[in-house]
Structure 1
Amino acid sequence: MNFEDPTLSKEQHVDLFKSILKPRLIEEKMLVLLRQGKISKWFSGIGQEAIAVGVTKSLKSEEYILPMHRNLGVFTERKIPLQRLFSQWQGKLNGFTKGRDRSFHFGTQEYKIIGMISHLGPQLGVADGIGLAHKLKNEKSVTAVFTGEGGTSEGDFHEALNVASVWDLPVLFCVENNGYGLSTPTSEQFKCEHIADKALGYGMESHIIDGNNIVEVYTKVNEIAKSVRQNPRPVLLEFKTFRRRGHEEASGTKYVPAELMEHWEKLDPVNNYELFILESGILNRDEIDSIKTEIKSEIDEHLKIANKELEVEADQTKELQDVFQGYEFKPQMPSSKKTELRFIDAISDGLRQSMERHDDLVIMGQDVAEYGGVFKITEGFVERFGKDRVRNTPICESAIVTTAMGLSIKGMKSVVEMQFSDFVSSGFNPIVNYLAKVHYRWAQNADVVIRMPCGAGVGAGPFHSQTNEAWFTKTPGLKVVYPSTPQEAKGLLIASIEDPNPVLFFEHKALYRSIRGEVSVDYFTIELGKANLIREGNDLTIITYGAAVHWATELLKKYPEISADLIDLRTLSPLDEEAIFKSVKKTGKVIILQEDSIFGGIASDISALISENCFEYLDAPIKRVASLPTPIPFSKNLEDQYLGKEKFESALLTLNNY
């Protein structure tokens, strides 16, 4: 292994040696603590230290890096106090996740490190978002993101590299090819000889680097990073290395042939570099031993501090408060000046005024630029706001959601258009596992609105007609908004964009061009989490939202003798329980109407809440009306039969006469 490099001084070699030695000594200590039961789990990076250290040294301290669970050298090189790392691994309050997540599943804006999630792939797209923000802000910066060779099998890898290539994003995709994905060898992961070969399909530059040679890693990545800062583009870096311990310590390495293990032990990055340092006279044995003693003393000192910290106390109030970023809603009152707009035009108007209000707001989605989106909501936006801020995307829902997350990390807002809400399933993972959980885990907000054109009644069949809000109301950390009128569509959309938390904004397609109404001309907001009492009555309560609001309104006109409270929920999460309970306690009867299929929909939870909180006030059984438990059919006759609209009339009359 050749460590000779005329461009490096003696001082730089010493610095590199100290940097690669520190994570090794920490790991050796952690393995002892693991055997003693003082930490619960450990993902060892022994044998791979040169990659994390060399890449991190090549970046500026203000540049973001997105590591994996074997990249301890990233954290030590960014000079995070060891006591905080130890607290994190022990689940103590002084860690980065308040005991809510373990190991390296955390991020920190202070040190410009963005932590992983167990699903691995989404962080690649997050790096795209950070890189996009750098480009939009004209910052000469680069972002580095790590994955393993196993992670390159995930669809997120393809999506992230494709987006980065199409948009020329300054991202270094660092793949640690360490031989095995848990126990699966590379021969069963991919067919090409080198992962770097994959770059050709994306029109992307790539390099193969000896991941066990700290000098080669540092000098080559440093050179590439400097080039990318001046000429923004993505680069795929494949680091050849080996995982010499189990996926995690309990896994062991019995599946690895002994001769393969012996081969890579001879290529140990720390031992070989230490031998070079010694034989070249850069340091003598006493100096090396002194460095080791100093690092071990630091480890022991910081362990004592972490060990003395108290365990995290369970506090339900704090846990609930941290699901969302705190946000003080400051209402923007609607103007008295109004104009009649269709539902679709009100959404477009709210989006346009939000783009004017927020210079850092970016719209992303398939065909949203010159074409104006499939529903023409963003028609004319490119001419007004430019292609930097109104961005056509490849067909890659997951990567665009994670790109939006990356923009939020850089303090920018984004609106992502799902062409149809049905297609969100292709981006489901980052929504429910990244956006929803990121603030609770390490206090990073996800300032992202995802627009969801949804709903039946337009003969679009099983893949373009779902109203799938219940997929998301189940997930803590997501806000779910579902307007029914043009005025509310505009005010709620603007409020959703102002809110720093992730919002799923459902827009019923059947309302787009069929519903018109008076809409305030100026910029205004409607507070999320507040239901709207459309009509007041005394005999029963109707609870509904979206297109079903209009079903209920039409039916009440047909039966003026029915005295009903009609509640439009507007926001499904957080739910306005106060408005629901107040009405039910007054009327004593309640019917819940939804377009979604009946089982597992939000009506079921509302029914349970009413039973638990208002049972003694009820004068009749709670009634739910919803669609059939089938996929949504295409034929009009079948679609009409599917929907709960026709069933609602008899159910309402039965309840009223109960």
Structure 2
Amino acid sequence: MQPNSSQPPSIKFEKENLSSAQLLDLYAALLKPRLIEEKMLILLRQGKISKWFSGIGQEAISIGVSKSLNADEYILPMHRNLGVFTSRNVPLNRLFSQWQGKQNGFTKGRDRSFHFGTQEYKIVGMISHLGPQLGVADGIALAHKLKDENKVTAVFTGEGGTSEGDFHEALNIASVWDLPVLFCIENNGYGLSTPTNEQYRCKDLADRAQGYGMESHIIDGNNVIEVYSRVSKIAESIRQNPRPVLLEFKTFRMRGHEEASGTKYVPEDLMNFWQKKDPVENFRGFLIDENILSEEQDAHFKNEIKAEIDENLREANEEDASRYDETNELNDLYQDFVYEEVMPNSETETIRFIDSIAQATKQSMQRHNSLVLMGQDIAEYGGVFKITDGLLEEFGKERVRNTPICESAIVGTAMGLSINGMKAMVEMQFGDFVSSGFNPIVNYLAKSNYRWNQNADVVIRMPCGAGVGAGPFHSQTNEAWFTKVPGLKVVYPAFPYDAKGLLNTSFNDPNPVLFFEHKALYRSIRQEVPVDYYTLPFGKASVLKEGDKLTIITYGAAVHWALDTLEEAELENIELIDLRSLQPLDRETIINSVKKTGKVLVLTEDSLFGSLASEISAIISEECFEYLDAPVMRLGSGETPIPFAAALEEGYLPKKKLKEKLKELIDY
């Protein structure tokens, strides 16, 4: 981003039919974040705030875009978009409390800077993993479209963020689905210290829109009139004709990535060039030259804003520092969910495991008009396992949506639907593919309610498991990736009856649920299941067999391995627990059983190291040590990826070792 010597260094403004009152309003709006920043830089040097990401030199973008949108339209800013918050009249004392990590801040001291959102002001803040918020904007816009609301959603990213896969995934989804999203790129010259010529090779980032069949515009990001006027027209056009538009704002970052970084890597002539294009000073000079702003008015604006800053800082400074309260911290991990028990009626039918999943999905779609299903090939094709077959005809393509192959942005889209008051289900075609959507699950869905009281009303269905000769990429049982993450719920049924009731509850729960479905059980297990809708609670294990000789604790397909082995070996008086719910975990049933039997085997299809079996073993050792008559034993699969060939897969799985392991434990 080198200066063009043929261009004057100052900004050329055109009034664009704006009144003097409108121009002065833009100036006051532009001035406010600049003065706040100048104050914050002083406080940073005094150690009164911990970190600062400066937007000095870029204020015109935040102000122009925010002023172009209606107050009830969502904006998803970055950490240099202070002007978004001030334009939406977010109380300054709460912003100051946020930056000081105090309870009155939007995250109650749990996150810093601009890592927060607020439904009151329709702002959804970013996370440090920048890409997911682009998919979230897709979801918010999709909800507007499904509700026939003519609204625009604006989302910000930097030129560095356009290299992330989420950027491309989100643009592709928005284009395919004609979503009313303004994708705003603040091209400020550097990704931390990396200049643009080391980040991309296209002439302009706006050119990337062509690959997605998307309209794009290049806008002078330092000219507040141009930003406001052009974005206003584009936004109104999108409201009338819903579609995504990519905007590239040319600007510059006048300070370091954050203050500790400095700007020594920026050539002096480049810094001088952009210093002359300062958006605040240039606009101020223009208004004075046009006799719209007087020196007295300017002084009045500054004094009024500085007084507001000082008063709100005083309020924030007087607040007590945050104090840790474990109960409060845990209570905010999930949105409150009062389980509603719906009892099954007396009419039953014998169905397969896969049929129970299909029934629960259909009946929950009937109960929840706001529920949207998303996944690869789930519409006309009915999904690779045919679970969603027939749903398109009943619920339509708006609610049963084929997605491009882009798991990360689709999870983000599901989050956006939740933010905008809807429910979402994402079907991972195979549970293995969740790794491509891992980031937004563990960093966005899991943490959002704890951070700023925004729930993620999302169910992610996970066809999983070995035993079907599918090899390393279609056979994993990766529940341990998620049971470790606070804020997620993890369910893993073994029977059709449990699967239907627990999936219905998953759709009712306003929190993120990963629902594991073992593929080997889909068509091999049948059971009498109520025809109508019913629910089952999370966190309640099922005791399938009672006994006092030994306890087996397991879940998923391994439940059936245990049943088969106990029958074949004619082992009696063995207590068998099917966990069903892994997070929350039924610790009470586990502990009571082990105290009764004194011996326990924790069985899992997962490899043992770092597995849920290891965690359960640790719980038992801590809670039941004095009741144990033998070491806590575990049995799991091999410590390798899952092999394809039948003999190798059979050797990898623990099923054939179960009888011997039980005998070892009984004889101990």
Global fold match (TM > 0.5): yes
1:609 paired with 2:619, answer yes
CA distance in 2, matches of 1:278, 1:565: 85
Q: Matches of residues 183-262 of structure 1 in structure 2 within 5 Å?
A: 183-262=193-272
Indicate which of 550, 563, 570 corresponds to 1:560.
Answer: 570
Letter of the 1:591 partner, please give it.
Answer: L
Instruction: Determine helix, strand or coil for the equivalent of 1:363.
Output: strand
- Are the equivalent residues in 2 in contact too, given 1:173–1:235 (CA < 8 A)? yes
What aligned pairs does 1:2-41 form with structure 2 within 5 A after superposition? 2-41=12-51
1:323 aligns with 2:333: yes
Give the match for residue 391 of structure 1. 401
Partner of 1:448: 458
- SS, match of residue 519 in structure 1: strand
Shift of residue 47, structure 1, vs aligned partner: 0.1
Q: Does 1:644 align with 2:654?
A: yes
* Partner Cα distance (2:519, 2:295) in 1: 74
Cα distance in 2 for residues equivalent to 1:216 and 1:410: 30
Q: Tell me how far 1:633 sits from its aligned partner.
A: 0.2
The alpha carbon displacement at 1:562 in A equals 2.6
Residue identity in the other structure for 2:601 = I
Letter in 1 for 2:138: D
Q: CA deviation at 1:555?
A: 1.2
Distance in 2 (alpha carbons) for counterparts of 1:562 and 1:183: 68
Instruction: Report the secondary structure of 2:124's partner residue.
Output: coil
Do 2:190 and 2:196's aligned partners in 1 also have CA atoms closer than 8 Å?
A: yes
Q: Is the 8 A contact 2:16 2:229 kept in 1?
A: no
2:436 aligns with: 426
Deviations for 1:177-224, whole angstroms, at most 9, x for unmatched residues?
000000000101110000000000000000000000000000000000
SS of equivalent residue, structure 1 residue 543: strand
Which residue of 1 is the match for residue 4 of structure 2? none
Bigger Cα displacement from structure 2, 365-374 vs 322-331: 322-331
1:570 equivalent to 2:554? Answer no
Residue of structure 2 equivalent to 1:505: 515
Partner residue, 2:125: 115
- Rounded to whole Å, the distance in 2 between the matches of 1:336 and 1:649 is 38
Query: Could you tell me how far apart the structure 2 residues matched to 1:377 and 1:561 are?
Result: 37
- From 54, 58, 78, the counterpart of 1:44: 54
2:350 counterpart residue number: 340
Q: For residue 280 of structure 2, what is the aligned residue in structure 1?
A: 270
After TM superposition, give the deviation of residue 560 of structure 1 in Å.
3.5
Given that residues 355 and 361 in structure 1 are in contact (C-alpha distance below 8 angstroms), is that contact kept between their aligned partners in structure 2? yes
SS of the equivalent of 1:491 reads helix
Please give the secondary structure, in 2, of the residue aligned with 1:505. strand
Report the alpha carbon displacement of residue 559 of structure 1 after superposing the two structures with TM. Answer: 3.3
1:600 aligned partner: 610
Correspondence list, 1:97-112, <5 A:
97-112=107-122
Residue identity opposite 2:43 in structure 1: L
1:131 Cα deviation from its structure 2 partner:
0.5
Q: Determine which of 309, 318, 332 is the counterpart of 1:308.
A: 318
Render the CA deviation track for 1:306-352: whole Å, top value 9, x for unaligned: 00000111100111111111111111112221100000011000000
- Specify the code of the residue in structure 1 equivalent to 2:545: R
SS of equivalent residue, structure 2 residue 144: helix
Q: Which amino acid aligns with 1:396?
A: C
1:260 aligned counterpart, secondary structure: helix
Deviations 1:456-514 (A, max 9, x none): 00000000000000000110000000000001111010001100000000000000001
How many angstroms does 1:7 deviate by? 1.1
The amino acid that maps onto 2:119 is: Q
CA distance in 2, matches of 1:347, 1:286: 70
CA-atom RMSD, angstroms? Answer: 0.6
Stretches of structure 2 that go unaligned for 5 or more consecutive residues are 1-10
Counterpart for residue 3 of structure 2 = none
Q: Identify the residue that residue 621 of structure 1 maps to in structure 2.
A: 631
Q: 1: distance between equivalents of 2:323 and 2:111?
A: 15
Aligned match for 2:417, one of 376, 396, 407: 407
Q: TM-score, normalised by structure 1?
A: 1.00
1:483–1:507 Cα contact (<8 Å) kept: yes
- Give the Cα separation in 1 of the matches to 2:155 and 2:166: 13
Structure 1: gaps of 5 or more residues: none
d(CA) in 2 for partners of 1:621, 1:295: 68
- Any conservation in 2 of the 1:124–1:145 contact (CA below 8 Å)? yes
User: Matched residue of 2:604: which SS?
Assistant: strand
**Superposition pairs of residues 72-111 of structure 1, within 5 angstroms:** 72-111=82-121
3-state DSSP class of the match of 2:437?
helix
In 1, Cα distance between equivalents of 2:88 and 2:376: 38
- Give the AA of the match of 1:252: G
- Alignment partner of 1:514 is 2:521: no
Which amino acid letter does the alignment assign opposite residue 15 of structure 2?
A: D
The residue aligned with 1:283 is 293
**In the alignment, which residue of structure 1 is the partner of 2:375?**
365
Distance in structure 1 (CA, Å) of the matches to 2:577 and 2:346? 24
* 1:374 equivalent in structure 2: 384
Q: Distance in 2 between matches of 1:50 and 1:471?
A: 43
Tell me, in whole angstroms, the C-alpha distance in 2 between the residues paired with 1:312 and 1:647: 53
Query: Scaled by the length of structure 2, what TM-score is found?
Result: 0.98
SS at 1:557 equivalent: helix
Contact 1:562 1:656 in 2 (8 A): no
8 Å contact kept, 2:76–2:125: yes
- CA drift of 1:565 comes to 1.1
Is residue 646 of structure 2 the alignment partner of residue 653 of structure 1? no
CA contact (8 A) 2:502 2:537 kept: yes
Number of residue pairs aligned between Structure 1 and Structure 2: 658
Q: Distance in 2 between matches of 1:34 and 1:539?
A: 64
Instruction: Report the AA paired with residue 123 of structure 1.
Output: Q
Q: How much does 1:4 deviate?
A: 2.2
What residue is the counterpart of 1:168 in the other structure?
Answer: 178
**Amino acid aligned to 2:226:** E
Structure 2 distance, partners of 1:369, 1:616, is: 55
After superposition, the Cα gap between the structure-2 partners of 1:203 and 1:75, relative to the gap in structure 1 and judged at 3 Å, is: same
Tell me the distance in 2 between the aligned counterparts of 1:244 and 1:235.
27
* CA–CA separation in structure 1 for the residues paired with 2:140 and 2:587: 38
**Equivalent pair of 2:114/2:126 in contact (CA under 8 Å):** yes
Residue 541 (structure 2) aligned to one of 514, 531, 541: 531
Report the equivalent of 2:427. 417
Paired AA for residue 124 in structure 2 = I
2:138–2:181 CA contact under 8 A, matched in 1: yes
Asked whether 1:146 is paired with 2:156, we answer yes
Is structure 2 residue 143 aligned with structure 1 residue 133?
A: yes
**Residue number in structure 2 paired with 1:466:** 476
User: What is the CA-CA distance between 1:6 and the residue it aligns to?
Assistant: 4.1
Q: Retained in 1: the 8 A contact 2:569–2:659?
A: no
Distance apart, 1:558 and its partner CA: 2.1
Structure 1 CA distance for aligned equivalents of residues 358 and 127 of structure 2: 35
Q: Find the aligned partners of 1:64 and 1:448 in 2 and give their Cα distance.
A: 20
CA 1:249/1:438 → structure 2, altered by over 3 Å: closer, same or farther? same
Q: CA deviation at 1:80?
A: 0.5
The amino acid that maps onto 1:498 is: N
Q: Does 1:62 align with 2:47?
A: no
Within 2, Cα distance between the matches of 1:472 and 1:152?
A: 28
Equivalent of residue 548 in structure 1, options 549, 555, 558: 558
> Matched residue of 2:157: which SS?
strand
Is residue 51–residue 259 contact of structure 2 (8 Å, CA) maintained in 1? yes
1:561 Cα deviation (Å)? 4.0
- Alpha-carbon deviations, 1:34-85, whole Å to 9, x = none? 0011100000000000000100000000000000000000000000110000
For 2:279, give the aligned amino acid: P
Distance, in Å, in 1 between the alignment partners of 2:110 and 2:515 is 28
Shift, 1:277, TM fit: 1.0
